[in-house]
Amino acid sequence: MADVAQDITKHSMHTLVFRSLKRSHDMFISDQAAPVPNNDAASKLSRSVKTVSEYGPVLHMAKDKKKTAKITSATNGTQGIYYIYICLILDLNFWLKWCFNTNSHKLVFLGDSSMLAIMDSNQKDISNGTAKAKSSANVTVNPDDIQRLHETNKALLAVNSRPIAPRKAQIMPKPRWHAPWKLYRVISGHLGWVRSVAFEPGNEWFVTGSNDRTIKIWDLASGKLKLSLTGHISSVRGLAVSARNPYLFSCGEDKMVKCWDLEQNKVIRHYHGHLSACYALDLHPTIDVLVTCGRDSSARVWDMRTKANIMTLSGHTNTVADVKCQAALPEVITASHDCTVRLWDLAAGKTRSCLTNHKKSIRSIAMHPTQYTFASGAPDNIKQWKFPDGDFIQNMSGHNAIVNCLALSSDGVLVSGADNGTVHLWDWRTGYNFQRTKAPVQPGSLDSESGVFAMAFDKSESRLVTCEADKTIKIYKEDDEASEESHPINWKPEIVRKKRF
C-alpha cells in the first residue's frame, strides 16, 4: 500500500482546477460549436403573425384594390396609387390626411405644413373615349374605388387616431372658510370621566354615560339634568337612541348591553354574549339590528326584538374600539387597536375590505352625513376614505396625540378630540386645520385630567358636545361675530401633493 501511495503524483490546486475546466469544456464543446439551425417554417410563421398583428386592419385593402383598380399613366406608367397602399400598409395614416373631391375627381394629400397635390383631375374625352392627362404626374383612377378607399381610411382614422389630452397642472383646492367655534357652556354632574354621548332624534335632550356607572339625560336648551339611570356596574362606554322606537341602548365595561324603555325608564332587554368589556355600539338606520364591539376582538350583531345574536363579525386581532352602521354597502365599519379598519358586508356576514394604512391603533371613526365617505382617527394620522371599497383619499396630519373621538358635520367640518385635551377642527374637503383649541379643566381637577373621550354634533349641527376627563360636559357653538377678515384663512398650498399612506 505504501508503494502505491508513493506512485501517485501530487499536483497543485491550480493544475487540478484547470484540468476540471478542460474536461467540462470538452464535454459541452459539441453543443456550443454547432450552429443553430434555421427553421424556415418558424420564421415564416413569425412573420405572418407579426404582419397580422401590426397591419391587420389594412391588409385586405391592398388585396381588394389589386383586383379592381385599373391604373394607367400618361408618361411614366403606373404610379401614385401604389404609394397610397404603401402608406396604409405601413400605417402612416396617423400623420397623412387625405380627401377626395367628388366633383373634380381630385385626390389631395394634406401634410403637416403644406398641401401636396399628388393626383390632378382627370378628364375623359367622350368623343374618342380616351383619357387625356393634364400633366405628366396625373394618374387615372376609378372614382368609385377612390371614394370607397377614402371612406375606409376615414373610418380607420376615427378609430385609431385618439388625440392625446394635454396634462393639466395639479390644482390645489382652496379650503372653505368656516367660523371658529367657542365654548359657551360647561355642565357638571357626573362623578367620573364622561365616556359617551348620544342625541335624541327630536334634538330636545341628549344622554351621557360616565365612569360613575350612571346614564344621565340632559336638556339641550338649558343644560339641566332631567333624569339619571342606574343599572350598569362599570363604566358606560357606548350609547345610542333609536329613531324609530322609544328605546335607549347602552353598553359598558361590565360586558352588558342593555335596552332601556324611555316610557318606563327601565331596562327591558339584556343582550348577553360579549366575553369582555363592550366599548361601542351603533344602530342600523333601516333594519332593527344593533351592532356592538369590544375588547373580545369581535363585533356582534343583535336582533333588537328577540335579543338573539344574529352573527359575530370576527377578523380583528385586538380590541375593536368603534363601530358604525349605514344603510348602503358596506353596512358595518369597525375600527380596531390592531391598526386596521374593516368594512363588513352584513348580508354575507364577512369582510368586504380591510384597510391597513394606519400604523397606530384606531379608536374612532366618523361617517359623513351626506357624502359616501368616512374618516378614521389614530395617533399617526386622521385618514379619509371613500366607500364602498375604502379607497384612500387623503391624510389630515397635525393632531399629534392619541385621538379618542371624531365628529363630522354635513357642512364639511371634522372635529377631533385627543387624550391631552386638544380639539382640532378641520376642513373636510382640503384637510386644512383651521382651528385648534383646548378648554381649561374644571376647577378642582388636575391639569392632566383634560382628555376628550367622546364628542358629537347635535341634530341641527349648531352645537358640539364634548365629554371630558374632568367630569364635565362642554358645549361649543360657532362664533357669530367672526368673519373672514377677523379670522382669515392662513393656508399655503404645497408644491406637490402626495398621497401619503
The 10s digit of each residue's pLDDT in 322-357 is: 999 999 988 999 999 999 999 999 999 999 999 999
123 falls within a domain = no
Least confident residue range of 102-106, 263-267, 426-430: 102-106
Residue 105: the pLDDT is 43
- Confidence category of residue 178, pLDDT binned at 50, 70, 90: very high
The residue segments making up the domain with residue 283 are: 195-418
Least confident residue range of 50-54, 183-187, 344-348, 367-371: 50-54
The bridge status of strand 433-438 relative to strand 422-427 is antiparallel
143 Cβ contact partners less than 8 Å away, ≥ 6 residues apart:
100, 102, 105
Residue 204: the pLDDT is 96
- In whole angstroms, give the CA distance from residue 173 to residue 493: 9
- Tens of pLDDT, residues 213-257: 999 999 999 999 999 999 999 999 999 999 999 999 999 999 999
Residues in the chain: 501
65 falls within a domain = no
Q: What is the mean pLDDT of residues 101-118?
A: 41
CATH for 289: 2.130.10.10
Question: What is the count of structural domains for the chain?
Answer: 1
* Distance set, CA 181 to CA 424, 463, 464, 487 (Å): 10, 9, 9, 11
- Tens of pLDDT, residues 259-294: 999 999 999 999 999 999 999 999 999 999 999 999
379 falls within a domain = yes
The three three-digit cell numbers of residue 456, written as one number: 358629537
Higher pLDDT, residue 476 or 19: 476
30 falls within a domain = no
Average pLDDT over the chain reads 82
474 Cβ contact partners less than 8 Å away, ≥ 6 residues apart:
183, 185, 186, 187, 439, 465, 466, 468
Q: Please, how many CA atoms are within 13 Å of residue 399, restricted to the half-sphere of its CB?
A: 35
75 falls within a domain = no
Higher pLDDT, residue 59 or 284: 284
pTM score of the predicted model: 0.67
Task: Say what percent of the chain tops pLDDT 70.
Answer: 75
42 falls within a domain = no
